[in-house]
Amino acid sequence: MQPLQESEIDARLASLAPGWHREDGAIVCERECANFAAAITLINRIAVLAEQDNHHPDLCVHSYKQLRITLSTHSAGGITERDFALAAQIDAL
């Protein structure tokens, strides 16, 4: 799988839920959950999707209820269609 071109990334970002942006060769989103338990529940739901797709984001809980989701395709060296596909599934949660 090849990394997407800059124009393709910009177009695809516009199709995702608000909050996704490009950062250091990845697409990133911050979500605020109701509390710590809700953040962990969301991580677990994302983990199920990631395992099904064999495409694993970096996930970080900080400030007890903030979740940072970072997607890139390391094997391709950048942002690919797989990242946007998983981001769309995450948005659907």
Q: How many domains does the chain have?
A: 1
| 27 domain residue, yes or no | yes
Question: Which pLDDT score is estimated for 1?
Answer: 87
Structural domain range at position 44: 6-92
The CATH number that applies at residue 50 is: 3.30.1360.20
Contact (Cβ atoms closer than 8 angstroms) between residue 11 and residue 46 = no
| 57 domain residue, yes or no | yes
Question: Which pLDDT score is estimated for 73?
Answer: 97
Q: Are strands 26-32 and 21-23 parallel, antiparallel or unpaired?
A: antiparallel
**Helices 6-15 and 81-92, interaxial angle, to 10°?**
10
Question: Which pLDDT score is estimated for 90?
Answer: 98
| 1 domain residue, yes or no | no
- Using one digit for the tens of pLDDT, what is the confidence trace for 65-84? 999 999 999 999 999 999 99
For 54, residues 6+ apart whose C-beta sits below 8 A from its C-beta are: none
- Using one digit for the tens of pLDDT, what is the confidence trace for 11-46? 999 999 999 999 999 999 999 999 999 999 999 999
List Cα–Cα distances, 32 to 14, 19, 35, 39, 70, in angstroms.
20, 11, 8, 8, 15
